[in-house]
Amino acid sequence: MRIDIRDTIGTITAPTLVISGKHDFLVPGYQTRELRDLIPHSEYVELDAGHAAFLEKPDELVEIVRTFLFT
Protein backbone atom coordinates (compact mmCIF):
# COMPACT_ATOMS: atom_id res chain seq x y z
CA MET A 1 0.00 0.00 0.00
CA ARG A 2 1.35 3.36 -0.99
CA ILE A 3 -0.04 6.84 -0.50
CA ASP A 4 1.69 9.83 -2.04
CA ILE A 5 0.43 13.21 -0.84
CA ARG A 6 3.54 15.24 -1.69
CA ASP A 7 1.71 17.26 -4.35
CA THR A 8 -0.91 18.56 -1.92
CA ILE A 9 0.81 18.58 1.45
CA GLY A 10 2.30 22.03 0.89
CA THR A 11 -1.21 23.50 0.91
CA ILE A 12 -1.70 22.79 4.62
CA THR A 13 -2.12 26.10 6.42
CA ALA A 14 -3.22 24.93 9.86
CA PRO A 15 -0.68 24.72 12.68
CA THR A 16 0.70 21.20 12.44
CA LEU A 17 2.55 19.04 14.95
CA VAL A 18 4.47 16.08 13.52
CA ILE A 19 5.39 13.47 16.13
CA SER A 20 7.83 10.64 15.51
CA GLY A 21 9.00 7.72 17.59
CA LYS A 22 12.77 7.38 17.65
CA HIS A 23 12.38 3.58 17.59
CA ASP A 24 9.43 3.41 15.17
CA PHE A 25 10.10 0.63 12.68
CA LEU A 26 6.72 0.94 10.92
CA VAL A 27 7.17 4.57 9.88
CA PRO A 28 10.90 5.30 9.69
CA GLY A 29 12.15 8.63 11.02
CA TYR A 30 13.34 9.83 7.62
CA GLN A 31 9.74 9.62 6.34
CA THR A 32 8.40 11.57 9.29
CA ARG A 33 11.08 14.23 8.87
CA GLU A 34 10.22 14.46 5.17
CA LEU A 35 6.59 15.04 6.16
CA ARG A 36 7.71 17.79 8.53
CA ASP A 37 9.80 19.39 5.79
CA LEU A 38 6.87 19.42 3.35
CA ILE A 39 4.34 21.04 5.72
CA PRO A 40 5.02 24.77 5.95
CA HIS A 41 5.77 26.01 9.48
CA SER A 42 5.16 22.61 11.07
CA GLU A 43 6.63 21.65 14.42
CA TYR A 44 8.46 18.35 14.93
CA VAL A 45 8.94 16.29 18.08
CA GLU A 46 10.71 12.96 18.37
CA LEU A 47 9.85 10.76 21.34
CA ASP A 48 12.04 8.03 22.78
CA ALA A 49 9.39 5.48 21.78
CA GLY A 50 8.31 3.14 19.03
CA HIS A 51 5.23 3.30 16.82
CA ALA A 52 2.82 3.11 19.78
CA ALA A 53 4.00 6.18 21.67
CA PHE A 54 0.50 6.60 23.10
CA LEU A 55 1.05 3.32 24.98
CA GLU A 56 4.78 3.64 25.66
CA LYS A 57 4.97 7.29 26.73
CA PRO A 58 1.37 8.45 27.27
CA ASP A 59 2.12 11.21 29.78
CA GLU A 60 4.92 12.67 27.69
CA LEU A 61 2.82 12.52 24.53
CA VAL A 62 -0.14 14.26 26.19
CA GLU A 63 2.12 17.01 27.52
CA ILE A 64 3.62 17.60 24.06
CA VAL A 65 0.17 17.84 22.48
CA ARG A 66 -1.13 20.12 25.27
CA THR A 67 1.83 22.43 24.89
CA PHE A 68 1.33 22.58 21.14
CA LEU A 69 -2.39 23.28 21.42
CA PHE A 70 -2.36 25.80 24.26
CA THR A 71 0.76 27.89 23.72
Asked whether the predicted pLDDT for residue 1 surpasses 80, the reply is no
Of 41, 42, 19, 43, the closest CA to residue 31 belongs to 19
Q: Where are the beta strands (DSSP E) in the chain?
A: 17-21, 43-47
Residue 41: which region, alpha, beta or left (left: phi > 0; alpha: psi -120 to 50)?
left
Of 32, 38, 43, 44, the closest CA to residue 10 belongs to 38
Radius of gyration in angstroms for the set of CA atoms belonging to the chain, rounded to a whole number = 13
Task: Locate the domains of the chain by residue range.
Answer: 17-70
Residue 10: how many CB atoms within 10 A of its CB? Answer: 11
Give the pLDDT band of residue 10 (cuts 50, 70, 90).
Answer: confident
pTM (2 d.p.): 0.86
